[in-house]
Chains A and B, each alone.
Chain A
């Protein structure tokens, strides 16, 4: 079945440093979504990417979808303590019995030291 791998598992940064997490799928995706989960909270949707090579920005966050639609990345510029949490990618494919189902990566836990 479809697998989504995410690296790194953990990332510790000093406030002000940049942060990147990478996501790779075993199959071509129809779209990919990113979620953030604060400690003790629930996953919250950040963004969806659909097109090959798509790049989207939300303030200090930059999201990319690979040309082959099998990989994606999230980059945070100049991290702040409010960025602390776990970042998940989640892939979707329209094919077969997986229709409607998001496959989540393992997540990257980001710690920001002030």
Chain B
């Protein structure tokens, strides 16, 4: 298995632009998680899905952030409009079941908003 796949690996954009991050979880995993990592705030859970349904989006910073999972093999995290404070590494992770199984993280997308 190729593991969790994320694209792009690096994204540099200007303030106000729309950014879309993509994730392909490991086949057969029922849970998908989006995290954001910064030096100041550490690793934060933004949202997670179970069987393509959003379960908890309480970590989504504000309305500029949205996430979708149209099918079991694809998810997107969109930021519109982007701001410099959104600069971070965004990780996608997947797991077989909830909580009591290890999460497999993707390589991350390093986002820089100028």
Residues of A within 8 A of B (CB): 30-31, 33, 41-45, 48, 50, 88, 92-94, 97-107
Known contacts A101-B48, A102-B45; is-contact A42 B56 (Cβ 8 Å)? no
List residues of chain B with CB within 8 A of the CB of A97.
56
Classify the interface of chain B: helix, strand, loop or mixed. strand
Residues of B within 8 A of A (CB): 31, 33, 42-43, 45, 48, 50, 55-56, 91, 93, 98-100, 102-108
Known contacts A100-B50, A104-B42; is-contact A30 B108 (Cβ 8 Å)? no
| B43:A104 contact, CB within 8 angstroms | yes
Known contacts A42-B106, A107-B42; is-contact A100 B55 (Cβ 8 Å)? yes
List residues of chain B with CB within 8 A of the CB of A30.
99-100
